[in-house]
Amino acid sequence: MKKIILWMSLLGILAAAAAVFYLWGRPAPVEMREEPYPCVVYYRKVRTSPRIMIAHIVTVDLSCKNIETFVTPPEKGDKEMPLRGRATLQFAKEFGVQVAVNGDGFTPWWSKTLWDFYPRAGDAVTPNGFAASVRREYGPRDSDEITLYINEKGEASFGAPIRKVYNAISGSHWLVRGREVVENLADTGPAPRTALGLDGSGRKLIIVVVDGRQPFYSEGATIAETAGLMLFYGGDNAILLDGGGSSTLVIDWPGEGLKVMNSPIDLYIPGRERVVGNHLGVFAER
């Protein structure tokens, strides 16, 4: 009997140790709500149905005086490949933003092995859609583009700018239009996702990042589920940004410093950040 109890105790310790090891370095799967800066609120949402999923949501009141947005600037003199690759944490460190999220898709890109991937930090890439950083415009511009515009006064809109173009970033799909989830969303199953939304007034910016491809931690969301999350948090209109291994959210916590808030997964390695093209940042201390 004593041996059985001893073995059960050892198995319990091993199971607990395995769980700690598996979760090490990842955000705890615990729901939370924090306001690190005035007009900036961070939520962590945990779901267990229809699968395990952890979502990270940031809402930003763009009308507040301390809030200013920023998009990754282009390199001077290179119109064909105007961006140099940066991880989202690197972008936040370099430009001093308090909130940072990965942006649009980009080319060229491949991710085969730890030795065969592109881009690395500093490599040249082209965004899939139009972008602007403090009036400096870059990327292809199409009439049907899915673009978020935020002007110098913090007025935000999708599809067409209010006044002159100041900051802009594009996505791949509409998720929500006029408080309605878009019908027939292309879906290939659950995955890491990143999305941007606005409430009906255009004053509140909603950022959603969902962790995925991590069994027993977070398997991800479908595109339709991402749209539903966006709608729940007030996104009357919303677009999908680059996802998969690109999905990364960073916050500079007062007194603690920069933290990657989600669990990115590049090359199927949890915690590994992907180098991406552009990003959306928020200054919250100005």
The average pLDDT across 42-59 equals: 96
- Asked whether residue 20 is assigned to any structural domain, the reply reads no
- Asked whether residue 5 is assigned to any structural domain, the reply reads no
The average pLDDT across 63-86 equals: 94
pLDDT averaged over every residue in the chain? 91
pLDDT recorded at residue 8: 56
pLDDT recorded at residue 18: 39
Between CA 60 and CA 197 the distance in angstroms is 10
**Residues near 247 by beta carbon (within 8 Å), at least 6 away in sequence:** 102, 192, 193, 194, 209, 210, 211, 212, 262, 264
- Asked whether residue 251 is assigned to any structural domain, the reply reads yes
Between CA 183 and CA 186 the distance in angstroms is 9
The average pLDDT across 215-231 equals: 96
Give Cα 188 to chain centroid, integer Å: 19
Instruction: Give me the count of residues in the chain.
Output: 286
User: Could you tell me the pTM of the whole model?
Assistant: 0.91
Residue 9 one-letter amino acid:
S
Asked whether the predicted pLDDT for residue 269 surpasses 90, the reply is: yes
pLDDT recorded at residue 14: 44
**Residues near 163 by beta carbon (within 8 Å), at least 6 away in sequence:** 151, 152, 153, 155
- Asked whether residue 244 is assigned to any structural domain, the reply reads yes
- Asked whether residue 274 is assigned to any structural domain, the reply reads yes
* Phi, psi angles (nearest 5°) of residue 22: -65, -40
- Asked whether residue 18 is assigned to any structural domain, the reply reads no
Asked whether the predicted pLDDT for residue 20 surpasses 50, the reply is: no
Partners of 127 in beta bridges: 106
Question: What pLDDT band is residue 71 in, cutting at 50, 70 and 90?
Answer: very high
- Asked whether residue 85 is assigned to any structural domain, the reply reads yes
Radius of gyration of the chain (CA): 20
User: How many domains does the chain fold into?
Assistant: 1
Domain of residue 197, residue span: 27-283
- Asked whether residue 60 is assigned to any structural domain, the reply reads yes
The average pLDDT across 123-141 equals: 96
The average pLDDT across 40-66 equals: 97
pLDDT recorded at residue 54: 98
Return the structure tokens found at 68. 């200013």
